[in-house]
Structure 1
């Protein structure tokens, strides 16, 4: 490409975006890695269970690292220069690795967004397939179809495929810049939908508005991805009008890395409160409790302290109970009793023993995620059944 008026080509020491790319990539990867490590630690040592969304998150993080590595290699080779400072041989190699980056983008972004959507599904839905369930499943299917189609559109952008990076090869091609613009618009729509979905679900929770805001703040990080996506559309539009492809596309690639990293971070945020409580020692089993006990109430748990999981953490915990109040057909009583089935026989024995003494028995019912205290007063009666249960 000839240089614009008043400038000359510089193939030896031209202006480059490489220093800015190194700084931006280092900061983004460091922050993302910290959040992913926090999620892995919380899932391994605190919650002690990994789900599908966790593995998708780890895969997305690995993809972001791979994408960033290719980006920096390409920048160093000449991608971060102005178009008139890039030789034809350099441009061929740059376009080849850029094509690989395009192909990596779709599966990495899909894994990151599916990680968030599956986590929303686990937190906000119950065993009943209610409205929230179908909206989340529709989002999962829509994102899967969109990013799979985008992946194949990049892979088969030209036929023969060598025409993608080699201008000397003649073939039929689809405009990559136009495809990027369409994908950018749909990507922003997907980001907004992923942000609005938990906001809609949280609004229907049976909790104070202040706590709703706190819960939404965890997912509110996704608004950054929406802003980055809008800015990315701006750069894609510029690419349609200005011929300085390498310089402008390098800036857009940094935004793409930021956007993918933010989606990964959003999926890690719900695990942070549990990890912070664990680091503060809240909910850890007492070191004195070393002997096994047959009493379920005295068995050490990951969260045996009543302060281990406050209401916010309870709603944020994964599992069938988390966010289950969205479904009004299940009362709190029914949801709690489902957790107490293992100790029914023990409760009956305690009731019979207390009845024989004619005293008041206090029973403690424990959940796997929080501790709920329930009191039952047992009184002597002259009725034929002999017992009258009064709940307090």
Structure 2
């Protein structure tokens, strides 16, 4: 239904006067609110594990702002049901309050998406040092911010005058707001896929095993879940702005809240590495020869020293990136081959590119 209600529309509404999405709204907002809190706590705890203290960078700050704005949207959607949201138009007692809340929810949606995407872009900037890539990140951030400002402007001024949105007893008109949201939704999906694809070429250039490259790409591509929700949301956008919008637009609200929740999760998954190392990978590594484990810290570590004669020395160390139970001992999960050469009685570390130290000792064919 759009424009003016016909007698057929009124008859249909009266025949379905008991229809209500209110219980569904409460369930949706409660579940998404709970998971959003869990996502935030896991991210903060992961940062604490990785850094030894709770130190936040720009991506974390932008993420927390996005979460605060999301909470505003989630609470507003719950309050929406208290003013008649989820029921048919004829049974809404306070249309003014309902429309104000609807406007606030739409504006908050735009800015939540923006802060989530800017958080992801800031995370990319902290990972990849290439200056050209940073220029692309700034351009993407500017586009996303412009998208949010334009979407908010169209939302607020969809009717002229603005009061015509809740008071149809005056002269005015409204644009096809559902169609405009469809356009903004298409640009939202395009930017989603662009942002997700941006780090893939850089990851493929990393000098790491292909298996780790695939894992990194999967982590960065985790945002596809939010993209799917954005696509689903497009199906419901045309119902927004209708006369019977208090009822017909509620499914779009469900998808919007779910989309924002998945966006929070997608932007946090790449930061969950320390949690994986602490609770999953560590428990999956068996203790055995060449490793040591403690019940208190559950850390594992290996250290091997190789020395040949008095000229060459090599050391390989490995372990988890945690602090061991004994003060002053740090165990790492990074493998490093350190080579030294004895020059005039002093052991001097030889870099990989140093041509004075060959992989095999001439004339022996053995590893030094």
Mark the CA change 1:243 to 1:183 in structure 2 (over 3 Å): closer, same or farther: same
Q: How does 1:25-174 map to 2 (within 5 A)?
A: 25-47=29-51, 48=53, 49-84=55-90, 86-87=91-92, 89-123=93-127, 125-126=128-129, 128-130=130-132, 132-171=133-172, 173-174=174-175
| Greater strand fraction, Structure 1 or Structure 2 | 2
Q: Which runs of 5+ in 2 are unaligned?
A: 283-298, 300-319, 360-368
Q: Distance in 1 between matches of 2:249 and 2:13?
A: 21
Deviation >6 Å, runs of 4+: 374-377
Mark the CA change 1:196 to 1:235 in structure 2 (over 3 Å): closer, same or farther: same
Between the two proteins, the alignment pairs up a number of residues equal to: 313
Q: Secondary structure at the match of 1:145?
A: helix
Mark the CA change 1:376 to 1:155 in structure 2 (over 3 Å): closer, same or farther: closer
Mark the CA change 1:70 to 1:306 in structure 2 (over 3 Å): closer, same or farther: same
**Greater relative contact order (Cα 8 A, min sep 6): structure 1 or 2?**
1
Q: Which runs of 5+ in 1 are unaligned?
A: 291-299, 312-346, 365-373, 378-387
TM-score by length of 1: 0.70
* 1:98 positional shift: 0.5
* 1:206 positional shift: 3.3
Mark the CA change 1:238 to 1:165 in structure 2 (over 3 Å): closer, same or farther: closer
What are the superposed Cα offsets for residues 138-195 of structure 1, whole Å, 9 maximum, x if unpaired?
2112111111222233233345433333333544644432322221111111212122
Q: Secondary structure at the match of 1:66?
A: helix
1:255 and 2:243 equivalent?
A: no
* 1:108 positional shift: 1.6
Q: Secondary structure at the match of 2:357?
A: strand
TM-score by length of 2: 0.74
Q: Distance in 1 between matches of 2:273 and 2:182?
A: 37
Residue in 2 that maps onto 1:265? 265
1:188 and 2:192 equivalent?
A: no
Q: How does 1:1-392 map to 2 (within 5 A)?
A: 1=5, 4=9, 7=12, 9=14, 14-47=18-51, 48=53, 49-84=55-90, 86-87=91-92, 89-123=93-127, 125-126=128-129, 128-130=130-132, 132-171=133-172, 173-239=174-240, 244-279=244-279, 280=282, 281=299, 282-289=320-327, 304-307=330-333, 355-357=343-345, 361=347, 363=349, 389-390=356-357
Mark the CA change 1:100 to 1:6 in structure 2 (over 3 Å): closer, same or farther: closer
* 1:230 positional shift: 1.3
Q: Distance in 1 between matches of 2:101 and 2:322?
A: 49
